[in-house]
Structure 1
């Protein structure tokens, strides 16, 4: 029951609770997630889990900055899920896409870059993989070629 005093004082006879009043975050703090009935735990560094109950052995450099680290149920075993373009136990090795697929750039030169690659197209070609020709008959207006040219 809520009572209002004209002196701008609001009195509540019963306490209005929220999810963070009852959610236990063992190694973190509770944060409301959109409404008072939904609380989630923000874990302190080194902990994970729904209630921040598990110690994690991941740190920002566990996967060389090129992947997502996860630990197995509080053990010191970690696993890295590497970002595209990276490989290795700790995502420390750049994948050389140019070596893996020598035909990656149809009409150009493949240049490897950290975690990726790009194609430097030969004259007259364009596109991500230099697969399009600016000299093709598709791009010429009708009757553009003379003297029997195609």
Structure 2
């Protein structure tokens, strides 16, 4: 297998395998998000109030997405999103129009 802070030191015998650098020490979310594995690469999922590839940008409280319970969204968390708008776990359902608001690194109508 692979080891080391940069996941670049092969320790073992036999065929060398591809190193999965998902969420290793090289992915820094500036303490404003958490690293999430995706397609073999680590990426930041920013906490409310932050955005950017490494959660480096502050967004004002009025622009931040509310932290609503499961299945609800909107400014007062009163909007119910259908089970079809789960955004594959890579975004949040917008209570305003039922569309997906994708987390950093994810795109598409349903993330």
TM-score between both structures, scaled by the size of structure 2:
0.35
Return the structure number with greater strand share.
1
State TM-score, norm by structure 1: 0.27
| Greater RCO structure (CA 8 Å; 6+ sep) | 2
Indicate the structure (1 or 2) with the bigger Cα radius of gyration. Answer: 1
